[in-house]
Structure 1
Amino acid sequence: MENNFSQKNFSNISVKKIRKRDGRIDEFDPKRIYNAIEKAMRATKRYDKETLDKILDYILNIIENKYDGNSIPSVEEIQDIVELTLVKFDLYEVAKAYITYRKEKENIRKEKINLLGSFYEEEVAKKYSLNSIRLMVNRYLLKDEKLQILEGPKQMFERVAALIVIPDILYDERIYDKSGKQDIKPKEELNLEEGEIGLKKQGNSYKLKWNKYHLERMKYLYDYLNERGHMKISWSEFIKRLNNGDFDQYYENYLKYFDLMASKKFMPNSPTLFNAGARLGQLSACFVLDIDDDMASIMKSATDAAMIFKSGGGIGINYSKLRPEGDVVGSTGGIASGPISFMKIIDTVTDVVKQGGKRRGANMGIIESWHPDIMKFVHAKEKEGVLENFNISVMFDSNFWNYLAENKPYPLLNPRLLRKHNIKFPDEQGFDIDKVDKEVIVNYIDPKQLLSEISYVAWEKADPGCLFMDNINKRNMQYKYRGPIRATNPCGEQPLYPYESCNLGSINLYAMIEFKDGKAEFNWDKYIETIRWSYRFLDNVIDMNKYPLKEIEESSKAVRRVGLGYMGLADALFALKIPYSSEEGYRLLMKITEYLTYYSMEESIYRAKERGVFPKYNETSYKDGEMPVDGYYHKELWNLDWEKIRNEILENGIRNVEVTSIAPTGSISMLVETSSGIEPAYSLVYEKRVTAGNYFYVDIEFERQLKEKGLYKEEILKQISDNGGSLYNIDSIPDDLKAIFITALDLPWWDHIRAQAVAQIWITTSISKTINMPSWATSEDIYLAYLFAYKVGCKGITIYRDGSKSVQVYYAPAEATKSRFKDYFRLIREGKIENKTISILKSFKIDLPKWYTEMNIGDIKINLEIRKLELNNNNNFNDNISTDNCPVCKSVRLKHEGGCITCLDCGWSECILA
């Protein structure tokens, strides 16, 4: 990753080609020799640029004299020359490191070939680690009925890119009329027997060749546009022009989409990788269904859920419309069983429908705080084995917070009686109880007791989470016309109306880091360009998607919602040597997120000019000059000209109702080997156990900096691994590394929440973020965290206390995390991390937990006066305390993140979004 290669002119070298191990002839690049030697020198603390330049000159002279342009050297021959040269320069340790590196590379190459077989293609496979290739084979690559792979990494990305480029062609102004004033052309059949169809014909074939699933979606989009008067030519004329090469310029777009994925700059959500250009064709991760208080609607929701699970998606449902348990059923004179019983129906459906051959589905179950069954809902998952396929969340409206602030009894309302009296359900603007029929009030509850009970159960079982209706709808551009959004997808980062879906994708921020003279820089131009193409990719997904239900297709296309986010934040901050929770870190996080939404919206405006606004545009507040992000209303935070964006929307409209969202990225971030979503690193080092033995998995940027400092030694890695992957409270680790390499359980909950809130200022939808707490945190911590998250503008919050789920097979020992916290606060006090979150807490009149005061005045002495959850008391971080295993690789190394369980070894995730 270093960029110290001498800019000499090597054009006069007669050796221009090299023979690869598989026999292919490639360009000879001296920079590769330079980089390999540099790595070996740095690993042995013998790096010296002047010496390195001399070594390279010597090696190139030997190559020039030996081959003289008359023959082509092999990779092995070049490597032999390098080894001998290092010995000649008396660099024996460097030579040994180079030989070891060479052997490791050879072993990795052989295992990749073993995994990929005839699909091994070095130009793509070499960009991906062995772990990434294993993950692709286990999860992403298409397989036949005998589970033999049908494609390699390159073919997978080609398959996806070949689908995504199709809308660019059909929206070409030569054949597409944005106004929709064309005569509808007669319907024609798709003839798959006519031969190959593609772009860039070469002889009798094409550089891009579509399969039958690509062509089916192409024909579907053509017919969809034609039926709406957009197409200027018939289908057969279009195919004729396509075959004549009239649209071959879009091959460059195809290459752009391919490169986004192949170069690790961007990945779409998993269903797109699974299903693009394949039989299922369903590309979305997120869906929300509706459910009304009658049996027909309940059973329809179950059927719709089954279709979504089968296609590879997850769902969210708000169950608040259902009458409470024990209420009357007028049609039969019976007694209602309540919303939780109907959640169990969806839970059973989830169990029996395997998603697209990949895994079980995922659900978000929501009940609003005013529902009479709220306490039953809060405790619904306390018993093991109940609602296992659900994340659950309580949704609060602003009415609740007013009652809490005023310490007044909070009314519980019967949804059946609200409908009977034609009273609107409470929304984010509150509920005037004095103006409604008192019959609808079935009980009162102490709001503090309710929040305390939620806090305790979340402390004990990691569910429920909380959703804040007024924050969700504060900048909802559809609220004036459609009322509030009342549900989210399974991980909470996509608030959606019923039957809407969202297509997610994430930019790898670590791929935006470039090294110049050994110093890391964030390439903003590269980031902007990646945002533009990633947005285009996701907008095209809407047109290419094979939706599981007609209602979902209609609702999704009516607003064209996309959710572009990012991953690799922690690794990017590591490289830049900026602490995650520092003031500088929060400023950079805000700027990165502002750029993400600004340039996504700018591209969406360009798309609106070319292709038209989303159909429901005139039913939104965009036309009134409102904007979907809080940051617009705080000009002091601007780095970019947001007035320009607003004015362009008023003039030209916008293509998508919302454009950005930060999702959990468990599997796709493992694919590109970077940190997940907006999260801090979970662990810098952990011991990975395989059949052949154990080895340490090290965060990619941490490994680079350890080697740079000459600290990359097995005894240090073991020390960090035994400390839960954290540097804190390890005396041998220097403070400058501790200040930079912060992990999730090094941070107090308020810094997690602040990171989420800072990013939320510029995100149009929402954010999936795990607020990690150590095992010794109290229910008071969770209560205070809810208050803080609400007051700083988060749209929801998911808290995970270490060890609170039985599926978690390892957790950090209490004493270790207490010591880590103490070390973290020491760095803040000593000015090595600039952090002002405590003052923000105080400004919102949020109390600090008792342990904070005790921890900062002396030795840690924390007595927890709370109900206790029985946990394994073994302090060995790596010990197995559960019989649960990964269903793919059988590993017991599972972690909880973003409301999902993820395998650290193979990348399997319980979450369909990952």
Structure 2
Amino acid sequence: MAVEKVMKRDGRIVPFDKERIKWAIQRAMLEVGIRDEKLLNRVVRRVVKRVNELYDGQVPHIENIQDIVELELMRVGLFDVAKAYILYRKKKAEIREEKKKILNKDKLDEIDKRFSINALRVLASRYLIKNEKGEIIESPRELFERVAILAVIPDLLYDERVFNREGNHEQDLSKVEKYMEKLDEYDRKLSIGRFKLNKYHFKRFLNLYRELAQKGQMKVSIDEVIGMLENGAFDKYEDEIEEYFHLMTSQTFMPNTPALINSGRPLGMLSACFVVPIEDDMESIMKAAHDVAMIQKMGGGTGLNFSKLRPEGDLVGTTTGAASGPVSFMHLIDAVSDVIKQGGVRRGANMGILEVWHPDIEKFIHAKEKNIGTNVLSNFNISVGIWADFWEALREGKRYPLINPRTGEKVKEIDPKSLLEELAFMAWAKADPGVIFFDVINKRNVLEPAKGEKIRATNPCGEEPLYDYESCNLASINLAKFVKYDKEGTPYFDWDKYAYVIQKVAKYLDNAIDINKFPLPEIDYNTKLTRRIGVGMMGLADALFKLGIAYNSEEGFAFMRKANEYLTFYAYKYSVEAAKKRGPFPLYEKTRYKDGELPVEGYYHREIWTLPWDELVEEIKKYGVRNGMVTTCPPTGSVSMIADTSSGIEPIFALVYKKSVTVGEFYYVDPVFEAELKKRGLWNDEILRKISDNYGSVQGLEEIPEDIQRVFVTSMDIHWLDHILAQANIQLWLTDSASKTINMPNDATVEDVKAAYLLAYKLGCKGITVYRDGSLSVQVYSVEGEKKQRIKSKPSAYAVEKLKTVVEAEPWLAKFINVEGILNGTNGKEKKEAPSLSFSLNVPKAVKPETHEHPHHREPPEIPEEKIKELLGVTYCPVCYEKDGKLVELKMESGCATCPICSWSKCVIS
């Protein structure tokens, strides 16, 4: 009698699956370079036969079956394979023990096993609930259950049995308050199928009931609704909770960090992105400081535009004194952020914006340029907001007026070319400021008529342009999970499953608006006027690896376009269906949606459509849309580590790197790359060492086949032109923006940065963050010969064509974009090589243009070694430094300084 069941280590009885045996033996065979399907099948048949003989009709333990596999491998003479299998078993046992330590538990369940050690470490350090002693008291299963339960609570209250969108019902809301007073009594007493609501779930349930009842949309009393819950009337929604739970635990999508931390917990705040207004009076400035504190206390990040503040030295009417200017008030906000620790690990994150016409713009550009050891504005990313008139002045060679926001009068005129030079120099030197293109952001802004003004601010990482007191909930879909394989082993992308998941995630985020506990009433009100959501993606690099497509190729850019076209199209598909049942967002009738417009540039280029956009627009005009904006591409540092995939829309930082832990050092290898090496019989310690020593890149290594070198590219293998094109192709199909770093090599020039700004603008990006390799470092660059030189990246043929097309279309750009210099690597290097130090920490102000000397040609001062530690928290990861006593240098990813080891980031979203 054949064996049908097997016992797992946690005591569960599951179906006997010979495919799992086959997979394990195949893995061991690949480990030693054996690729023989017939031999593999023969061994599997022997193992299955032996299991059936020994355990006739019984239930063997998983360990028994693994013992049989070892014996059968040796019986057929596959001793090397048997050894590899034994070592793999040993490694798996060690991994299980390590996971138990991390999670503080004696036995692992199937959810614990799905996540890597890295993923569990991230969950344990930031997300799982701890007691007062700092001990973990929540499992990953419990975390994802509390998130999934909260996500489905709105479905109950929008059920047609209790909800009427017309709004003509009256209910006694005093009863809601009585339930609010008895939250503890209802803790885990109410259920949706097998899922029990804790008191924080119940509180958000009551809150949403009250809100809908105030609009007259609740057909039944709160007593009746709770009675329905008690009687199982809502148990059909158990399947919906199960589905969200499965989507998260299968690592198919992850909500943003605040949602994972706060769902079903006291704070209850699920949003990541906020914008706080700041007006030109002390009351507003202090209110902004208060609002930032409230938002960051709950785990959010804030964006502020300081352009309404009068310039430094301007008249203060009440005292006839002199104003201190926007930069001084940035220091005030920075100090507030500094004292608000989030989870004991993360500081507050801010985006500080000043528009290019402000009289203090030069002071702002140099705001972070201070002497070593000052740790200045460490809680700020800063960006210059540029409008079309600045580019027009640059094109025409005219001087550009700076305007006092208090009086509206011109203070002085500047040379726009000189200002661009200073801006590019500081970005070259310190990766700050970034640049935001406000005219591009507002070009397709369908909300402008309803809000009565243009958008003038973004969240800390720039991917969410927001109105004052608006917020956004974000979630990222793991693209790598949709790469499947046909019977021949050929990879393909499952577009239908992707479309389905997009709609589920859009619904999750729409529900999150209803169930969210916002940090301020103004944010609650303004967020619900537009109901903006941010469906995003991660795992792009891993998906391309699996598909065998190079990131920096025409095929790669086509995939990016299609993936984002689907993202926005199907997020809107959900939003239209939700509008039919629940109603469109409140400002819909005042927007340009009803005129058939969309906030999506790709919609206006019919030749690149792969989906029926005209049909979608007709649906929107007929039924409205539930969410004012629907898609974005945020940074995903921590959540992509939980999902065991590559971060956001970025290429990977390194294919192989050496990682230090308490018991020694080991090589961390990208999982997709590891599988490819093993499939080709190339896996060994020597090749891993070579790749690690080659900056984690396979470029130029003779042992690595050309097709692997072409596909498996890292962020520094990709030319900065191709980075910009990736962002531009992705931006085409987003309603909001994308957080991405434009990586440049250490020897890139200020001229390269200037060219990058203009190209990004002309290609339709909404902003740009440039990072020159090593510009966060304060350590002296190694002398030549001591360190292997990187293989220089070259632009793709597609990038070369686009560069030439852009410049030929507008000949004036040739004054700022040296096409030949960019292509042959000499751009801006005609006079003298850039200094070998990454950057000078007390560089003087940029030399005036008439001297014809580029500021980056100066020799840097020597940095005293004892000063290095003073920069902790800016240049080095504060977590890894404190934990291991080692300086772990931050890298730039998705527009934010990020730790490559533990994923600590200045951006709270990730």
CA distance in structure 2 between the aligned counterparts of 1:460 and 1:141, rounded to whole angstroms: 39
Cross-structure match for 2:887: 892
Residue identity in the other structure for 1:505: A
SS at match of 1:687: strand
Cα deviation for residue 838 of structure 1 reads: 3.9
Residue identity in the other structure for 1:455: A
Whether 1:37 and 2:25 are equivalent positions in the alignment is yes
Structure 2 counterpart of 1:471, from 428, 434, 440 = 440
**Cα offsets for 1:220-247 (capped at 9, x unmatched):** 0000100110100011110001111111
CA distance in structure 1 between the aligned counterparts of 2:88 and 2:779, rounded to whole angstroms: 35
SS at match of 1:165: helix
Percent of aligned positions with the same letter in both sequences?
50
Are the counterparts in 2 of residues 366 and 395 from structure 1 also a CA contact under 8 Å?
A: yes
Are the counterparts in 2 of residues 802 and 812 from structure 1 also a CA contact under 8 Å?
A: no
Cross-structure match for 1:3: none
Ranges in structure 2 where 5+ consecutive residues have no aligned partner: 835-853, 864-868
Cross-structure match for 2:237: 250
Cα deviation for residue 564 of structure 1 reads: 0.6
Cα deviation for residue 54 of structure 1 reads: 1.2
Structure 1 counterpart of 2:377, from 382, 387, 392 = 387
Whether 1:19 and 2:12 are equivalent positions in the alignment is no
Residue identity in the other structure for 1:43: E
Are the counterparts in 2 of residues 781 and 849 from structure 1 also a CA contact under 8 Å?
A: no
Cα deviation for residue 808 of structure 1 reads: 9.0
Are the counterparts in 2 of residues 809 and 892 from structure 1 also a CA contact under 8 Å?
A: no
Residue identity in the other structure for 2:736: T
Cross-structure match for 1:904: 900
Q: 1:342 to 1:496 in 2, by over 3 A?
A: same
Q: 1:474 to 1:816 in 2, by over 3 A?
A: farther
Cα deviation for residue 353 of structure 1 reads: 1.3
CA distance in structure 2 between the aligned counterparts of 1:496 and 1:446, rounded to whole angstroms: 30
Structure 2 counterpart of 1:308, from 292, 295, 305 = 295
Whether 1:839 and 2:804 are equivalent positions in the alignment is yes
CA distance in structure 2 between the aligned counterparts of 1:814 and 1:472, rounded to whole angstroms: 46
**Cα offsets for 1:827-869 (capped at 9, x unmatched):** x57xxx9974443444455534665454599x99983473357
CA distance in structure 1 between the aligned counterparts of 2:686 and 2:780, rounded to whole angstroms: 24
Q: 1:303 to 1:119 in 2, by over 3 A?
A: farther
Are the counterparts in 2 of residues 265 and 508 from structure 1 also a CA contact under 8 Å?
A: yes
Cross-structure match for 2:113: 126
**Cα offsets for 1:526-562 (capped at 9, x unmatched):** 1111101111111111011110000000000111000
Q: 1:374 to 1:288 in 2, by over 3 A?
A: same
Residue identity in the other structure for 2:701: I
Structure 1 counterpart of 2:91, from 104, 126, 129 = 104
Are the counterparts in 1 of residues 475 and 509 from structure 2 also a CA contact under 8 Å?
A: yes
CA distance in structure 1 between the aligned counterparts of 2:497 and 2:705, rounded to whole angstroms: 33
CA distance in structure 1 between the aligned counterparts of 2:822 and 2:153, rounded to whole angstroms: 56
SS at match of 1:744: coil
Cα deviation for residue 872 of structure 1 reads: 9.6
**Cα offsets for 1:693-718 (capped at 9, x unmatched):** 11110111111111111111111111
Cα deviation for residue 513 of structure 1 reads: 1.0
Are the counterparts in 2 of residues 412 and 443 from structure 1 also a CA contact under 8 Å?
A: yes
Are the counterparts in 2 of residues 803 and 871 from structure 1 also a CA contact under 8 Å?
A: no
Cross-structure match for 1:657: 628
Structure 2 counterpart of 1:412, from 402, 413, 433 = 402
Structure 2 counterpart of 1:396, from 386, 390, 403 = 386
Cross-structure match for 2:553: 582
What is the count of residue pairs matched by the alignment?
A: 863
Cross-structure match for 1:355: 342
CA distance in structure 1 between the aligned counterparts of 2:788 and 2:627, rounded to whole angstroms: 44
Cross-structure match for 1:452: 421
Are the counterparts in 1 of residues 5 and 15 from structure 2 also a CA contact under 8 Å?
A: yes
Structure 2 counterpart of 1:54, from 38, 42, 64 = 42
Are the counterparts in 2 of residues 187 and 223 from structure 1 also a CA contact under 8 Å?
A: no
**Cα offsets for 1:651-683 (capped at 9, x unmatched):** 000000000000011111111111111111111
Whether 1:622 and 2:593 are equivalent positions in the alignment is yes
Q: 1:628 to 1:74 in 2, by over 3 A?
A: same
Residue identity in the other structure for 2:566: Y
**Cα offsets for 1:76-124 (capped at 9, x unmatched):** 1111100011111111111111111111111101111122233854211
Q: How does 1:694-843 map to 2 (within 5 A)?
A: 694-806=665-777, 819-821=790-792, 824=794, 836-843=801-808
Structure 1 counterpart of 2:494, from 523, 532, 544 = 523
**Cα offsets for 1:339-369 (capped at 9, x unmatched):** 1111111000000112255521100000000
Cα deviation for residue 197 of structure 1 reads: 3.6
**Cα offsets for 1:766-810 (capped at 9, x unmatched):** 010000111111111100000001111100001111111247999
Q: 1:364 to 1:83 in 2, by over 3 A?
A: same
Q: How does 1:625-704 map to 2 (within 5 A)?
A: 625-704=596-675
Ranges in structure 1 where 5+ consecutive residues have no aligned partner: 1-12, 202-206, 419-439, 874-878
CA distance in structure 1 between the aligned counterparts of 2:311 and 2:870, rounded to whole angstroms: 41
CA distance in structure 2 between the aligned counterparts of 1:533 and 1:469, rounded to whole angstroms: 31
Q: 1:885 to 1:759 in 2, by over 3 A?
A: closer
Cα deviation for residue 895 of structure 1 reads: 2.1
Cross-structure match for 1:6: none
SS at match of 1:412: strand
Q: 1:872 to 1:491 in 2, by over 3 A?
A: farther
517-526 or 653-662, which moves further after superposition?
517-526
Cross-structure match for 2:279: 292
Q: 1:154 to 1:621 in 2, by over 3 A?
A: same
Are the counterparts in 2 of residues 311 and 356 from structure 1 also a CA contact under 8 Å?
A: no
Are the counterparts in 2 of residues 631 and 762 from structure 1 also a CA contact under 8 Å?
A: yes
Cα deviation for residue 906 of structure 1 reads: 2.5
Residue identity in the other structure for 1:519: T
Cα deviation for residue 250 of structure 1 reads: 0.5
TM-score normalised by the chain length of structure 2: 0.91
234-243 or 725-734, which moves further after superposition?
725-734
Cα deviation for residue 21 of structure 1 reads: 2.3
Q: 1:707 to 1:118 in 2, by over 3 A?
A: same
SS at match of 2:302: strand
Are the counterparts in 2 of residues 809 and 881 from structure 1 also a CA contact under 8 Å?
A: no
Whether 1:145 and 2:132 are equivalent positions in the alignment is yes
Cα deviation for residue 216 of structure 1 reads: 0.5
Are the counterparts in 1 of residues 379 and 906 from structure 2 also a CA contact under 8 Å?
A: no
Residue identity in the other structure for 1:863: E
RMSD: 2.5
CA distance in structure 1 between the aligned counterparts of 2:171 and 2:410, rounded to whole angstroms: 55
SS at match of 1:701: helix
Structure 2 counterpart of 1:863, from 833, 844, 859 = 833
Residue identity in the other structure for 1:496: L
147-156 or 882-891, which moves further after superposition?
882-891
Whether 1:259 and 2:246 are equivalent positions in the alignment is yes
Cα deviation for residue 187 of structure 1 reads: 2.5
Cα deviation for residue 504 of structure 1 reads: 0.6
Residue identity in the other structure for 1:228: K
Cross-structure match for 1:161: 148
Cross-structure match for 1:605: 576
CA distance in structure 2 between the aligned counterparts of 1:723 and 1:617, rounded to whole angstroms: 54
Are the counterparts in 1 of residues 187 and 199 from structure 2 also a CA contact under 8 Å?
A: no
Residue identity in the other structure for 1:800: Y
901-910 or 589-598, which moves further after superposition?
901-910
Cross-structure match for 1:342: 329
Whether 1:486 and 2:481 are equivalent positions in the alignment is no
Are the counterparts in 2 of residues 281 and 546 from structure 1 also a CA contact under 8 Å?
A: yes
SS at match of 1:600: helix
**Cα offsets for 1:597-623 (capped at 9, x unmatched):** 000001000000111111111121111
